[in-house]
Amino acid sequence: MTRVESMGGDTSADFTSGDGSGETLAPKPYVLSEVAGPLSRDELVAIDAWWRAANYLAVGQIYLLDNPLLREPLQPQHIKPRLLGHFGTVPGLNLVWVHANRQIVERNLNAVFVAGPGHGGPGPNACGWLEGTYSELYSHIKQDEAGMAAFFRQFSFPGGVPSHCAPETPGSFHEGGELGYSLLHAYGAALDNPHLTVFCIVGDGEAETGPLATSWHAHTFINPARDGAVLPILALNQYKIANPTMLARIPESQLLELIRGWGYHPHVVAGDDPAAVHQEMAATLEACLDRIAEIQQAARRDGASGAQLWPMIVLRTPKGWTCPPVVDGQQVEGTFRAHQVPLPEARTDESHRRVLEQWLRSYRPGELFDDTGRPAGELLMMVPSGARRMSANPVANGGGLRDLQLPDWRTYGVAVAVRGAAAHEATRVLGALLRDVTAANPTNFLTFAPDELASNRLQAILEVTGRDWQAEIGQFDEKLDRNGRVIEVLSEHMCQGLLEGYLLTGRHGVFTCYEAFIHIVDAMFNQHAKWLEASAQVPWRRPIASLNYLLSSHVWRQDHNGFTHQDPGFLDVVVNKRAEVVRVYLPPDTNTLLSTYDHCLRSKHYVNVVVAGKQPQLDYLTVDEAALHCARGLGIWDWAGNNDDQEAAPDVVLACAGDIPTLETLAAAAILRERLPNLRLRVVNVVDLMRLQPEAEHPHGLSDREFDSIFTKSSPIIFAFHGYPWLIHRLAYRRTNHGSLHVRGYKERGTTTTPFDMVMLNDMDRYHLVMDVIDRVPTLGTAAALRQDMVNAKLRARAWTREHGADIPEVADWTWPG
Ligand SMILES: Cc1ncc(C[n+]2csc(CCOP(=O)(O)OP(=O)(O)O)c2C)c(N)n1
Ligand SMILES: [Mg+2]
């Protein structure tokens, strides 16, 4: 390991400190020093010119409305009224980009760039403009003076592009907003992409987040024969927004030990002398990429042989490197104060404006752009060709998505000779379908689980593959496999992030998780959904495969694990997102789960949330019926009601969504049919929750006319719902009959008990549903005898659980009496 000593492990001591007098100092133009290294003088000059140009273009984006080439002294009207953006991280991003370009050209690398500190959007934007991609995608932003002016103006400007890396950013498949997911996206992109190199910059602040801290281990799933490589570059600029970072303030020896413990060989590049850092970075990148090539060649020749010590880089350079060192008497360059806009008063304060101009001129734009504003030839020579440009690599734009090869889901269906008589574990049957999907799509389909694949009954997949694992394999381990197509790691963050990276680069996958613990990735779901929403508005962005969740071990059947494991609230989070991208399905039985999942695997650019139980559950619909029911998304189960003449409104509608609510609803319907044969009863089952929303709100929404015809305009609706009951109200509040809608669901009453006690605790049991009907159908009067029987039945069932520790047989063994 070599390092440049000029900055060492020290923090900001090498910089001129502000003396408190309020002065603002401009950066001085620098001369490239003579430092030995792999770069010839010409190469050094060209690399540095790119770096200066990209930094210039970044400062221009943050500040300038006009006068992009400084043809006249900067005036207030040249400066944006609202100065938005983050400069501090930009020089580091640009440095990595240009050095990566040198390697892309030399090695003909197929590479993409992930900016962990994606708040530095001006950096990748600038590189995309220098590479010409910006002009190809946005025709008004040419590589000339007017184009540069438009490029500057649109940044962080109403009607323009966001301040962070976003779907609008050429070459980015990583949203730069919520920190923590860069390495996971990088590793997800590398999976099954054997010829891809991912340069992944990790912010040292970002590295403090939980998801990032666990991400270092993701190479456990990288098979160097099958997968591409990730080169992590820890941008140790020592600060985050307002504080030093933890990794910057531990002794370097400890940091290096930590990195080795994560399974990487660290290379430190440190300093603040541009020429020295360029030489060091060039030498280090060469060494890292040589090592990656060696690892890959050996594995591709001899087969994957276990854990590798992958190279990684620690880049210790000043935050805000090259910006004004001192502003209003305070040290800015090399401190947290460089995080955003170093000269916040540039429009209104003349001294700030003067220093801004000196700062821009310190990059010597006259050498970087010709008279028309086009990048100078020296810069263009640094640009890889066509799709080799990281800003234009198709991997970062949907990755050439191919549809999955899917078997006919109907052949996995279960026979239903008698409704509601036999039971199946729905997810186990789905496992057989997913097994064959895995086998038929050996390079573009993966299943992710936080150690719950078998627990959620999907173990059939392991009949055709194993669990991806490149670390040591022990004698008693099961189904660990260097080429495994299942990734199991007890980190919901890792499952989600790796799958996102995999999807964003054009592949398919499933994430199966306990329902309660999917909340761990609420925020990641939010960000991914935002990416889908925003990218759908960007004309050149291609759609990606949907993110498919299979949530099992759900609230109603976590009776054995207890209260901590009972939470259906992810659905509430999901429906916050725009209707165009979210879908929620609650298939009531095995065949409907198969049909639903077939649909999800074919769909694009959605988040599909499917909740399905893993315990034996009665089968209600044949394969053909399930196909129809799922296509409609909801429907009247006339066999379960007794309102044959559907022209006449029923006395009551029993609606249900979810497997356990469907069971309780059918059991309630059976009691009502027997005890109140004159009651006109309609049973409606909802698979696709979004059907409840108005059609103006969601593409799946029912028209008011259809809704009224199914749920009636005025009959009471007793709705048994899988999740928190208020979600149904939220979706249906505008419907004509909302005033008669009465929803039962999970109201946060849970513990370790029996399955039926769980529904009783939440008043969603069959007996309670019957009482709800009695209470809400005016023509029934008090139905006192039936009501009392229901109270008794509930008390009996409760007492039985207390005495026997199990559910009463009349409930546990119940089948549809039809
Ligand atoms: C999860 C999350 N928490 C907080 C923030 C607010 N934030 C934006 S940038 C930043 C500091 C990032 O520091 P670092 O990763 O070191 O980036 P750099 O120093 O390169 O700017 C913070 C805390 C965020 N974007 N995401
Ligand atoms: Mg930092």
How distant, in Å, are the alpha carbons of 238, 429, 586, 641 from that of 622? 62, 14, 17, 18
580 and 701 in contact (C-beta within 8 Å)?
no
Q: What is the rounded radius of gyration, in angstroms, for the C-alpha atoms of the chain?
A: 31
Average pLDDT over every residue of 461-465: 98
The residue nearest atom 17 of ligand 1, judged by CA position, is: 203
How many residues are given for the chain?
818
Distance 205 CA to ligand 1 centre (A): 6
Which tens digits make up the pLDDT trace of 305-322? Answer: 888 999 999 999 999 999
pLDDT at 11 over 50: no
pLDDT at 73 over 60: yes
pLDDT at site 5: 31
Average pLDDT over every residue of 707-734: 97
DSSP-assigned letters across all residues of 595-634? HHHHHHHH-BS-EEEEE---SEEE----HHHHHHHHHHSE
User: What is the average pLDDT value for the chain, to the nearest integer?
Assistant: 95
Can you tell me which residue has the tokens 């990048």?
A: 375
If pLDDT is split at 50, 70 and 90, which confidence band does 380 have?
confident
In the chain, % helix, strand, coil (3-state, to 5) comes to 40, 15, 45
pLDDT at 8 over 70: no
Type of residue found at 51: W
Please report the sign of the dihedral spanned by the C-alpha atoms of residue 487, residue 492, residue 494, residue 496. Answer: positive
Please report the sign of the dihedral spanned by the C-alpha atoms of residue 300, residue 302, residue 305, residue 308. Answer: negative
Average pLDDT over every residue of 26-30: 92
Please report the sign of the dihedral spanned by the C-alpha atoms of residue 60, residue 65, residue 71, residue 76. Answer: negative
Which tens digits make up the pLDDT trace of 338-353? Answer: 999 999 999 999 999 9
pLDDT at 688 over 80: yes
pLDDT at 14 over 90: no
If pLDDT is split at 50, 70 and 90, which confidence band does 813 have?
very high
CB of residue 205 inside a 6 A radius of ligand 1:
yes
CB of residue 117 inside a 6 A radius of ligand 1:
yes
pLDDT at site 782: 81
* C-alpha 525 chain-centroid distance: 5
Share of the chain above pLDDT 70, in %: 97
If pLDDT is split at 50, 70 and 90, which confidence band does 274 have?
very high
Average pLDDT over every residue of 549-573: 92
The residue nearest atom 7 of ligand 1, judged by CA position, is: 241
pLDDT at 7 over 70: no
Distance 203 CA to ligand 1 centre (A): 8
Distance 179 CA to ligand 1 centre (A): 6
CB of residue 176 inside a 6 A radius of ligand 1:
no
Q: How many CB atoms lie within 10 A of CB 105?
A: 15
150 and 140 in contact (C-beta within 8 Å)?
yes
pLDDT at site 3: 34
Q: How many Å apart are CA 575 and CA 561, to the nearest integer?
A: 27
Number of Cα atoms under 13 Å in the Cβ half of residue 74? 26
pLDDT at 558 over 90: no
Strand partners, 197: 111, 229
Atom of ligand 1 at shortest range from CA of 119 = 9
User: Given the DSSP bridges, would you call strands 681-686 and 634-636 parallel, antiparallel or unpaired?
Assistant: antiparallel
CB of residue 179 inside a 6 A radius of ligand 1:
yes
Q: Is 135 exposed, middle or buried (0-12, 13-18, 19+ CB in 10 A)?
A: middle
Tokens of 730: 């939220």
620 and 816 in contact (C-beta within 8 Å)?
yes
Tokens of 189: 């992109």
Average pLDDT over every residue of 233-239: 98
If pLDDT is split at 50, 70 and 90, which confidence band does 643 have?
confident
pLDDT at 285 over 60: yes
Tokens of 492: 């919901």
Tokens of 213: 């801290």
Which tens digits make up the pLDDT trace of 489-548? Answer: 999 999 999 999 999 999 999 999 999 999 999 999 999 999 999 999 999 999 999 999
Tokens of 622: 């044949």
pLDDT at 13 over 70: no
If pLDDT is split at 50, 70 and 90, which confidence band does 687 have?
very high
Average pLDDT over every residue of 133-159: 97
pLDDT at site 646: 61
pLDDT at site 559: 81
CB of residue 123 inside a 6 A radius of ligand 1:
no
Distance 128 CA to ligand 1 centre (A): 23
pLDDT at 6 over 60: no
**What DSSP state is assigned to residue 238?**
S
pLDDT at site 29: 87
pLDDT at site 746: 97
Strand partners, 198: 112, 230
Distance 346 CA to ligand 2 centre (A): 24
pLDDT at site 344: 95
Q: How many Å apart are CA 485 and CA 487, to the nearest integer?
A: 7
Type of residue found at 759: V
Task: From 501, 523, 586, 590, select the one nearest 549 (Cα to Cα).
Answer: 586
Nearest bound ligand to CA 90?
1
pLDDT at site 21: 57
Share of the chain above pLDDT 90, in %: 91
More confident residue, 578 or 61: 61
* C-alpha 533 chain-centroid distance: 12
Task: From 293, 352, 358, select the one nearest 26 (Cα to Cα).
Answer: 358
pLDDT at site 2: 32
CB of residue 178 inside a 6 A radius of ligand 1:
yes
Best mutation site among 201, 212, 240 for ligand 1, i.e. most ligand atoms within 8 A of its Cβ? 240
Atom of ligand 1 at shortest range from CA of 240 = 13
Type of residue found at 569: G
Can you tell me which residue has the tokens 């429009």?
A: 347
Please report the sign of the dihedral spanned by the C-alpha atoms of residue 59, residue 63, residue 68, residue 73. Answer: negative
312 and 212 in contact (C-beta within 8 Å)?
no
Burial 234-250 (b: 16+ CB within 10 A, else e): bbbbbbbeeebbebbee
What pTM did the predictor assign?
0.96
Residues 633, 636, 638, 640, Cα dihedral to 10°: 90
Which tens digits make up the pLDDT trace of 473-485? Answer: 999 999 999 999 9
Q: How many Å apart are CA 525 and CA 511, to the nearest integer?
A: 12
pLDDT at site 305: 87
Cβ-based neighbours of 366, under 8 Å, separated by 6 or more = none
pLDDT at site 560: 85
Distance 241 CA to ligand 1 centre (A): 6
How far is the first Cα of the chain from the last one, in angstroms, to the nearest whole number?
76
pLDDT at site 4: 32
Cβ-based neighbours of 701, under 8 Å, separated by 6 or more = 579, 690, 691, 692, 693, 694, 695
Question: Cα 665–670–674 angle (5° rounding)?
Answer: 145
Strand partners, 269: 315
**Range in 369-383, 402-416, 706-720, 733-747 the model is least confident about:** 369-383
Distance 319 CA to ligand 2 centre (A): 7
Q: How many CB atoms lie within 10 A of CB 16?
A: 12
Q: If residue 284 lies in a helix (H) or strand (E), which one and from where to where?
A: helix 274-302
